[in-house]
Amino acid sequence: MTKLNQLILALAGAALMLLAPLAQAEAPQVQTQVPGYYRTQLGQFEITALYDGAIELDTKLLRNTSAAELQGLLSRLFVGNPKMQTAVNAYLINTGSHLVLVDTGAAKLFGPALGYVLQNMKASGYEPAQVDAVIITHLHGDHVGGLNDASGQPLFPKARILVAQADNDFWLSQKIADGAPTEVQPFFEMARDSAAPYLASGQWDTFSEGSVLVPGIQAVKASGHTPGHTAFAVESEGQKLLIWGDLVHAHAVQFARPGVSIEFDIDQKQAIATRRSIMKAMAASKSLVAGMHLPFPGIGHVRADGKGSYSWVPIEFAPLPKAEKQ
């Protein structure tokens, strides 16, 4: 063997020795997401956002806009068209004396991509049996489907279920359902099925506009999307959060153009007026807002950009400050 060959072999051996630790350090990809919950503090209240999943909504569902405007707004925030990813969120509020769940997600009413509120609630450290009140923004299936398990049995055995009187009277009315278009019939059925075991047990109750549901949580009229669509004003030690339900379905579009509605709005004119009014108020107050279809965790601020246009400013991930013991 020549000296040149010996040198080549030696260099090759050294290279293999250098590469060996890299090969040993390789690991398979985990390919699972972190649990879908996010926690923040509001005064003495602990707020936990719960991720139910995400669906793709067709941009053709949006109204009062042009194809060119829509494409411009969506591409500006890198949102897909014609299918835009839309989150479904719920919120768990621990006031110290009450554990309140705001909406329950969809369960599997709309397929396997949704239905993870319960799983993420447990991952966050809570059990459904600890919840003593479930307050509902409105009776669409992606907000009440998670009240029961797949066999129709209630998942919240100790909770009062609180629904706006106007939504209760609309979605649970057989007379109104009978006169509704065929394509809307499933929404009535979902509402009735979700309510049934709680009506039977006496846990189902209604509230009116302005009602204080538990100390620190008040119902705020936000009609238009549905007749009794409700936001919830949460306040502790002067800190405020408005959980506004389905005020926004397409964040890339409806903040910049609050006059854009969606096919799901029962009264589109009223839904637009409600959105404009609440966005204006939240931008002026600089209070936190949370939305069921804002990108998870769906908590942030509304910034006024002038001429009736707004921007969504999500909160940043941050350590959880410790609330002072009362």
Q: Tell me the pLDDT tens digit for each residue of 267-276.
A: 999 999 999 9
Residue 22 scores a pLDDT above 60: no
Q: And the tokens for 252?
A: 């890339």
The residue assigned the tokens 């075991």 is 197
Residue 76 scores a pLDDT above 90: yes
For the segment 279-283, the average pLDDT, to the nearest whole number, is: 98
34-314: CATH architecture: 4-Layer Sandwich (3.60)
CA distance 150 to 157: 15
| Residue partners of 121: CB distance under 8 A and separation at least 6 | 37, 48, 50, 92, 101, 127, 128
- 194 contacts 139 by C-beta, under 8 angstroms: yes
CA distance 248 to 57: 13
pTM assigned to the model: 0.91
Amino acid at 191: A
What was the pLDDT predicted at 263? 95
Convert the pLDDT of each residue in 89-124 to its tens digit: 999 999 999 999 999 999 999 999 999 999 999 999
CA 40 to chain centre: 15
What was the pLDDT predicted at 13? 61
What was the pLDDT predicted at 240? 98
CA distance 237 to 90: 23
Q: And the tokens for 320?
A: 């959880």
What was the pLDDT predicted at 10? 60
Convert the pLDDT of each residue in 207-255 to its tens digit: 999 999 999 999 999 999 999 999 999 999 999 999 999 999 999 999 9
DSSP structure class, residue 138: -
What residues form DSSP beta bridges with 306? 309
What was the pLDDT predicted at 320? 86
Query: Of 54, 115, 109, 108, whose CA–CA distance to 85 is shortest?
Result: 54
Convert the pLDDT of each residue in 127-164 to its tens digit: 999 999 999 999 999 999 999 999 999 999 999 999 99
What was the pLDDT predicted at 165? 98
What was the pLDDT predicted at 323? 53
What was the pLDDT predicted at 321? 77
Distances (CA, A) of 34 to 30, 54, 147, 301: 11, 15, 24, 25
CA distance 59 to 46: 35
- Judged by DSSP in three states, 136 sits in coil
Convert the pLDDT of each residue in 24-60 to its tens digit: 558 889 999 999 999 999 999 999 999 999 999 999 9
The order of strands in the sheet holding 288-290 is: 212-214, 217-221, 230-236, 239-243, 288-290, 299-306, 309-314
For the segment 83-93, the average pLDDT, to the nearest whole number, is: 97
CA distance 22 to 130: 48
Higher-pLDDT residue of 54 and 320 is 54
What was the pLDDT predicted at 24? 55
